[in-house]
Amino acid sequence: MKKLVIGVGCRKGLSCDKLESEIISVFDKNSLSINDVKIVASIDIKKDERGIIEFAKKHNIEFKTFSSEELSIVSKKFCQSNFVKGVTGIGNVCESAAYLASGKGKCILNKTLMDKATLSIYEMEEGRSINNILIIGGTTEARKALDELSSLANIYLSVATQYGADIVDNDKVNIICGRMDSKGFSDFIKSKNIDLVVDMSHPFAVRVSEEVKKACIETDTILMDYSRNNISYEYENIFYCNDFEEAANRASHYDGNIFLTIGANNIAIFTKVIDSNRIVARVLDVDSSINACLENGVPRENIIAEKGPFSYEENLEAFSRYNAAVIVSKDSGLTGGVDKKIKAAEELGIPAILVARPHDNNKDKICVTSVDEIRKWIISQYNRR
């Protein structure tokens, strides 16, 4: 049985009955069945369009929308409409939406003009062999995935720094070292015929994830996102902040030393509002991290250059030794050792400030929460043995 996706562009206020009659007419002319439709897709400005919502609900079909930014990446593949571009910001909605929602599947019907709507039909991508996998990130989970997935395909690992490459102990893996933008990732994906990209980058590496997502859409490559489970802490003296600016402002209200365990990239945000002599920074033992601290005025004796994650005992000793008045950490979960930091802070009776993980809508991604889930998904979807 076919699994079809309808891409729809329509005038505002189009009724369900009108939309349904036009879609069924097109389906009848092309010997297609509405019962085979699994998704109806459009642009997100149509997410509240009652006619589409009611049509999807009536036929038990998922209604999926994409932002203009997401559609713009692939819309150039299709015929453009100046009218549609003037209304939505992009020149093609129905084909672009159907193409993305189908997993870049097979075109059944190109853009077709109806009375008050446009329609495109795609068949969902059912599967393709996985021969080459690109894993993004030098995290603990990424290194574990190398061993688990190497029997399924050729594995490439993308890390930002030489440090990330040096700690990998797997001679079966091809390591690519250096930061890349979306074009860099796209070129690599094309040159190595990558079939699947698994984003296992740090949850706060938002820029990297955005560039990877753009590259996967550009190259029609499957993107899998590794999501860390959130943890609840019983310690009552924890303050959650939405970003580093908010965390820095909150930390500035404390007297004494501010113990930062956030890495080096955001040190400058804290030294803008806090005397750098009061900042203790625990960062990776690499020149770039140490220099970032020094350039922002953190005294050399207040820089702890070591590789984590750290045990409860190590955190307890460090927080005590530097007379920490408050600790600041990313809420990066168990692999970031946050639970050990919180336990040590609670033992010492000092507050903890946690920076919440950036939000992602997870569109165009297959979301997994374990390496075993990645392996099982590949096997089940692509019959790898």
At 359 the pLDDT is 57
Burial state string for 183-200 with b = 16 or more CB within 10 A and e = fewer than 16: eebbebbeebebbbbbbb
Residue matched to tokens 């933008």: 181
Low-confidence ranges of the chain (pLDDT < 50): 361-362, 383-385
Tell the CATH topology of 4-123.
Nucleotidyltransferase; domain 5 (3.30.420)
Q: Where are the domains of the chain?
A: 4-123, 132-229+362-383, 238-355
CA–CA separation, 223 and 203 (whole Å): 16
Per the listing, tokens 């097109």 go with 26
CB 4 within 8 Å of CB 108: yes
Q: Which of 384, 319, 312, 313 is nearest to 350 (CA)?
A: 319
Q: What is the pTM of this model?
A: 0.51
Q: Which helix (H) or strand (E) holds 155?
A: strand 154-159
Q: What is the pLDDT of residue 383?
A: 42
How would you class 229 by CB atoms within 10 Å of its CB: exposed for 0-12, middle for 13-18, buried for 19 or more?
A: exposed
What one-character-per-residue DSSP string does 16-33 give?
HHHHHHHHHHHHHHTT--
Of 31, 27, 30, 37, residue with least CA distance to 57: 37
**Domain covering 132-229+362-383 in this structure, CATH number:** 3.40.50.720
Same fold, 132-229+362-383 and 238-355: yes
pLDDT, residue 15, reads: 92
CA–CA gap between residue 293 and residue 282 (Å, rounded):
10
Q: What integer pLDDT is reported at residue 364 of this predicted model?
A: 56
Burial annotation 159-171 (CB, 10 A radius, 16+ → b, else e): bbeebbbeeeeee
How many residues are recorded in the chain?
385
CATH dotted code for 238-355: 3.40.50.1980
Facing residues of 136 across strands? 158, 199
